[in-house]
């Protein structure tokens, strides 16, 4: 009996003393996902932010796992957590495997931390979507609407946004979910988390609750709202979340933002009016929205925030109705009538016909002038060839008849065409010869030479065919072969010139020796006159025999 009493006393003593000497550790944790969508058989990266607020325990336990909507766990991991005395902060980068057997749907990443053995576990979580392996397509048939690009919210107070999606395609999608991607995605709670089926022309709506922590920094935060399906199709909408510390700043910002939107919308209405569309009703709605904005400003000055928010809501609703009305009216009003279109086409046709007639008339006059020039040249050539010196050839009465003149002009034009083709062939031959010379001297590469040579040979053969059609026969049927023969002949002549240049100095050196030999054969200067016979002198009146023969002739 005494022993039992002592045991109870000892237990009560340690129960009362333990809190005094050992403080229970506690803190808060948060997670940030590296990506809100991940493929089957891949890793999901994430970051754990740990803030220890009390306690001096040095070791704890951290656990994290993937959980499906039905509560099934996947890829559970746990490890020891080393911490210091409070206050203490730590950041851990981790990743968890996504099995290839996990179906494509929405999942939760759960994280739990025990700062010591006696403390209560602190847990948090974030949602992400598993996509089929190697199958992800950005599509525009799933349209996201009813959400602005700039969203305002007050810290510490919830705000609700109701985005919508519409299936404008012909396919049916399954497990359609909304996800928010950003550095503070845990501020958003979306309900429902997913829809099992999404049919064509169907419209679905979600409710997105935004809860910003009171101690969050007042700033602009970028986010991406994503809609994903189990088939791998997805679309997104980017927006900015502007946080404010009080209602006065928030409402004032919303008023300024709405005024800018109305100013832009007025410009759109002016464009509609210039296009001939009826926008009278739209202007009336815009005026009513501006009145509501003025009410909101007056309520804000008197710190009546509820009435100011209501006036802003009315202004947004009026503006939305105005946009719908303007679009409907713009579809009903036709900018250009069918009669105006027909008249425009008729005018274009008349202008085209007048232009064609003027061009035809100008072309005929130009042709007549050209024929006159050729006829003049032909007549000059005929006179030059037929008229002897001193003889005047008179044309027969009536001049050259039309058919004869046309025949002569045709022959003249054909002769000039043949001449031009021959000149073109000669230029091409000379070009080919120069290219072969540059290739042999190493100035161009083999590939460049082959390409230029093939094109030049094609041009020469084409000219040869044209000359053949006009009845002109070339010296050689193969134009390329003739070019090669000309090149070989040119090279041969160059070799002869080189040999002549080399032998010329030797010949010049041998000239004095030859002159000495000639002097020896002719004798010295003293007796040279004795051996030579004097040539008979010609009489003054006597002419050479050749001149006599020419005179007789």
> What does DSSP say about strands 43-54 and 26-33: parallel, antiparallel, or unpaired?
antiparallel
Q: Which residues pair with 46 in a beta bridge?
A: 33, 94
Local structure of 2: helix, strand or coil: helix
Tell me, what's the pLDDT at 434?
Answer: 82
Question: Percent of the chain having pLDDT more than 90?
Answer: 14
20, pLDDT greater than 60: no
Q: Do domains 18-131 and 136-245 have the same CATH topology?
A: yes
Categorize the per-residue pLDDT at 332 as very low, low, confident or very high, splitting at 50, 70 and 90. very low
Reply yes or no on whether the pLDDT at 531 is more than 50: no
> How many other C-beta atoms are found inside a 10 Å radius of the C-beta of residue 263?
10
Q: Which has more pLDDT, 417 or 515?
A: 417
Give backbone dihedrals phi and psi of 218, rounded to 5 degrees, phi first.
-75, 110
Q: What's residue 339's pLDDT?
A: 66
Torsion of CA 353, 355, 356, 358, to 10 degrees: 120
Strand pairing of 37-39 and 122-131?
parallel
Domain ranges in the chain are 18-131, 136-245, 249-334, 336-383, 402-492
Read off the pLDDT of each residue in 239-254 and give the average, rounded to a whole number. Answer: 90
Provide the pLDDT for residue 164: 92
pLDDT of residue 375 exceeding 80: no
Q: Which two tokens stand for residue 455?
A: 């094109």
* Residue 206: strand, helix, or coil: coil
What pLDDT does residue 553 have? 37
400-445 pLDDT tens trace: 455 565 666 566 666 667 777 788 888 888 888 888 888 888 778 8
Distance separating alpha carbons of residues 500 and 505, to the nearest angstrom:
9
The answer on pLDDT for 212 being more than 60 is yes
State residue 77's pLDDT score: 87
| 203 or 230, higher pLDDT | 203
Q: Which pLDDT score, from 0 to 100, does residue 526 have?
A: 44
DSSP single-letter state for residue 231: T
pLDDT in tens, 154-181: 888 888 899 999 999 899 998 898 888 8
Class of domain 18-131: mainly beta
pLDDT band at 105 (very low <50, low <70, confident <90, very high): confident
Q: What is the DSSP string of 268-312?
A: HHHHHHHTT---HHHHHHHHHHHHHHHHHHHHHHTT-HHHHHHHH
First to last CA, the chain: 182
Nearest to 407 by CA among 390, 388, 382: 382
CA distance 134 to 295: 55
pLDDT band, very low/low/confident/very high, at 297 (cuts 50, 70, 90):
very high
Q: How many separate helices (H) and strands (E) can be counted in the chain?
A: 10, 20
pLDDT digits (tens, 9 = 90+) for 29-79: 888 888 888 888 888 999 999 888 887 777 888 999 999 888 888 888 888
Which of 385 and 192 is assigned the larger pLDDT? 192
- Please give the pLDDT value at position 535: 46
Examine the pLDDT at 343 and tell me if it is beyond 50: yes
Domain 136-245: give its CATH superfamily: Immunoglobulins (2.60.40.10)
pLDDT over 50 (residue 533):
no
The first and second tokens of residue 490, run together, are 């040119």
DSSP 140-177: SSEEEES--SEEEEETTS-EEE--EEEE-SS--EEEEE
* Token pair for 510: 């041998």
Could you read off the pLDDT of 128-157 as tens digits, one per residue?
A: 988 887 666 888 889 998 888 889 898 888
The pLDDT assigned to 385 comes to 47
Q: Which of 407, 413, 409 is nearest to 470 (CA)?
A: 413
Most confident of 13-22, 303-312, 365-374: 303-312
Main-chain dihedrals φ then ψ at residue 475, nearest 5 degrees: -65, -35
Q: Residue 296: which pLDDT band, with cuts at 50, 70 and 90?
A: very high
* The pLDDT of residue 398: 47
> Do residues 78 and 86 make contact, with C-beta atoms less than 8 angstroms apart?
no
CB 227 within 8 A of CB 129: no
Could you give the CA distance from residue 357 to residue 178 in angstroms, rounded to a whole number?
A: 67
Query: Where do we find the tokens 């129960």?
Result: 15
Are residues 138 and 229 in contact, defined by beta-carbon separation less than 8 angstroms? Answer: no
What integer is the mean pLDDT of 445-453?
Answer: 82
> pTM for the whole thing?
0.44
Q: Are 292 and 312 spatial neighbours (Cβ–Cβ below 8 Å)?
A: yes
Give whichever of 291-300, 423-432, 476-485 has the largest mean pLDDT: 291-300
Specify the pairing of strand 233-244 against strand 150-154: parallel
């Amino acid at each position: 009996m005494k022993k039992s009493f002592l045991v109870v006393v000892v237990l009560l003593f340690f129960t009362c003393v333990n809190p005094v000497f050992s403080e229970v550790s506690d803190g808060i944790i948060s997670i940030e996902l590296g990506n809100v969508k991940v493929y089957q058989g891949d890793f999901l990266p994430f970051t754990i932010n740990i803030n220890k607020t009390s306690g001096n325990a040095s070791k704890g336990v951290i656990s994290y796992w993937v959980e499906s909507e039905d509560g099934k766990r996947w890829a559970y991991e746990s490890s020891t957590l080393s911490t210091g005395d409070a206050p203490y902060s730590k950041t851990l980068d981790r990743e968890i495997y996504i099995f290839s057997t996990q179906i494509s749907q929405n999942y939760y990443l759960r994280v739990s931390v025990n700062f010591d053995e006696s403390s209560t576990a602190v847990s948090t979580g974030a949602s992400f979507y598993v996509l089929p392996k190697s199958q992800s397509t950005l599509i525009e048939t799933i349209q996201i609407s009813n959400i602005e690009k700039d969203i305002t919210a007050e810290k510490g107070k919830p705000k609700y946004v109701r985005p919508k999606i519409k299936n404008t395609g012909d396919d049916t999608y399954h497990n359609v979910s909304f996800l928010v991607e950003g550095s503070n995605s845990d501020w958003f709670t979306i309900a429902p988390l997913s829809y099992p089926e999404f049919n064509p022309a169907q419209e679905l709506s979600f409710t997105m609750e935004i809860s910003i922590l009171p101690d969050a920094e007042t700033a602009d935060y970028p986010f991406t709202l994503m809609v994903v399906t189990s088939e791998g199709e997805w679309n997104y909408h980017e927006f900015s979340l502007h946080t404010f510390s009080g209602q006065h700043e928030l409402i004032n910002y919303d008023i300024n933002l709405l005024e800018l939107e109305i100013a832009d919308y007025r410009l759109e209405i002016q464009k509609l009016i210039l296009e001939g569309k009826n926008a009278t009703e739209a202007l009336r709605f815009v005026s009513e929205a501006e009145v509501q904005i003025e009410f909101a400003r007056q309520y804000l000055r008197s710190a009546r925030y509820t009435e100011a928010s209501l006036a802003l809501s009315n202004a947004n609703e009026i503006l939305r109705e105005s946009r719908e009305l303007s679009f409907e009216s713009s579809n009903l009003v036709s900018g250009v009538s069918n009669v105006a279109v027909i008249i425009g086409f008729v005018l274009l046709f008349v202008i085209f016909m007048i232009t064609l007639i003027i061009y035809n008339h100008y072309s005929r006059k130009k042709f007549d002038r050209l024929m006159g020039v050729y006829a003049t040249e032909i007549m000059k050539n005929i006179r030059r060839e037929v008229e002897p010196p001193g003889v005047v050839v008179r044309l027969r009465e009536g001049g050259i008849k039309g058919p004869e003149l046309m025949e002569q002009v045709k022959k003249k034009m054909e002769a000039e065409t043949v001449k031009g083709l021959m000149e073109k062939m000669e230029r091409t031959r000379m070009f080919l010869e120069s290219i072969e010379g540059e290739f042999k001297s190493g100035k161009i590469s083999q590939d460049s030479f082959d390409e230029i040579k093939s094109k030049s040979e094609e041009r020469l053969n084409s000219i040869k065919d044209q000359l053949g059609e006009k009845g002109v026969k070339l010296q050689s049927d193969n134009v390329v072969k003739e070019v090669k023969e000309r090149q070989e002949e040119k090279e041969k002549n160059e070799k002869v010139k080189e040999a002549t240049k080399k032998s010329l100095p030797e010949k010049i050196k041998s000239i004095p020796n030859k002159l000495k030999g000639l002097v020896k054969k002719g004798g010295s200067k003293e007796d040279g006159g004795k051996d030579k016979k004097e040539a008979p002198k010609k009489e003054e009146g006597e002419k050479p025999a050749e001149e006599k023969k020419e005179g007789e002739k």
